[in-house]
Amino acid sequence: MAEFLFQGSIPSSKSVFNRALIVQSYFPVLDLHGFAGCDDVRFMREGLKGIKERSRIDCGEGGTTFRFMALRASRVRGVHVLKGSSRLMSRPQQGLIDLLKELGVQAQIKKNEMHIVSEGWKKFKNHVVKVDTSESSQYASALILNSWLLDFDLEFQLVGSKVSESYFLLTLEMLKGMGLRIKQSATGFLVPMGQRLEKLSYEVEADMSSMFTMASAGVLAGTSIIENFPEHTEQPDKVFVEIFKKMGAMVERDGKTLTVKKPAKLKAVDWNLFQCPDLFPALAVVCSFAEGTSKLFGAPHLVAKESNRIAKVADLFNLLGIQHEVLEDGMIIHGNPKQALKKNIVFNPDEDHRMVMAAVLMKLMGQGIQIEHPEAINKSFPEFWGMIGIKP
């Protein structure tokens, strides 16, 4: 097997890009620098153009797109219908409906659509908006992303287990950098009325989740040289650098260049993925080639992602004969650097982009896998095939 080599730049973060597009919808003067050709960003961009008194907006498969768009549309007086795939609508959304109700907005889900009736956000006397983050931090992010230009002070508090809170902190730091003034209050947070943008341009940094997948290819099979690692980032998936160091990979940072090389011996690792669950599928594959037993844990919310990612990784490992034990919040993986190569394996990623990436890493390592519906990758990383050098 030829040694793998990648050198280049990673597309902009879809998470950051979608947040920036929401801000730009309030301040069209904002100039965004960066590129993201994935479906989630495309649906966000098109959907924002369609908001009017009577809107009908397609959010595709994107949970972020859907949740951010619901709060954005609710700022506009009228009737809005947000359409999503049946998979998207079956994911937890009750926290979103509850949040809209806290803001005086009516919302309900009918089949594959959310119907929103809004007079704009309302301020109730002495009311502190409660944001339940036990399903997702995206509700809290959606709230502050849409808190510009309000005619009242918005006071809110986070309740629940704060799932993926790191993404809320990313949103918070990003908006503060753009000029949003947000204060700690006695109960949580306070956004004073009339907030305005202080920046005319914004650079959308590289996507850490996509970068992690390309770095994983280097750790497993050769070398990855990534030329646009951000000097500073709040993206929680940046922790992959520390994980790979702990696993014994050769990791070097020189300015914006990150170089990751396959080690002589890949060590097992125990890691809590509560704040970075998107790492799980590809990291599980990396751990399967390590010497020893790894434990990835702390992320029960993996079952409610685009697929049940714990179950789908288990399916992949069962097909390939990789020893593992399923946990309710992750997996124990018994690594084997000399995995037996299988032929004519057919894997169904359940239309989950991150499961496609995990299966392709196995393919890179010589496993004979045919991946059903590989186009699911377009949700986040359509450039992946060209970068990894493997055909779907």
Please list the residues that pair with 253 across neighbouring strands.
258
- Residue 80 sits at the vertex; the CA angle it makes with 129 and 42, to the nearest 5 degrees, is 95
Give the total number of structural domains in the chain: 2
User: Residue 382's pLDDT is what?
Assistant: 94
- Are both 179 and 262 inside the same structural domain? no
Whole-structure pTM value: 0.92
Single residue among 203, 222, 253 that ends a domain in this structure: 203
What are the pLDDT digits (tens) for 118-171? 999 998 888 899 999 888 889 999 999 999 999 999 999 999 877 778 899 999
Q: What is the CATH number of the domain that holds 122?
A: 3.65.10.10
Whether 187 and 157 have beta carbons less than 8 Å apart is answered as yes
Query: Does residue 360 belong to any structural domain of this protein?
Result: yes
What are the pLDDT digits (tens) for 312-354? 999 999 999 999 999 999 999 999 999 999 999 999 999 999 9
- Residue 109, judged by CB atoms within 10 A of its CB (0-12, 13-18, 19+), counts as middle
Backbone angles phi, psi at 249, to 5 degrees: -70, 155
- Are both 292 and 360 inside the same structural domain? yes
Question: CA–CA separation, 338 vs 330, rounded Å?
Answer: 24
Query: Does residue 253 belong to any structural domain of this protein?
Result: yes
Single residue among 203, 231, 255 that ends a domain in this structure: 203
Single residue among 203, 221, 256 that ends a domain in this structure: 203
- Are both 53 and 140 inside the same structural domain? yes
Question: CA–CA separation, 294 vs 101, rounded Å?
Answer: 43
Whether 284 and 332 have beta carbons less than 8 Å apart is answered as no
- Are both 183 and 245 inside the same structural domain? no
- Are both 265 and 180 inside the same structural domain? no
Give 135 or 288, the one with higher predicted confidence. 288
- Domain range holding 368? 205-388
HSE-CB of 238 using CA atoms within 13 angstroms: 17
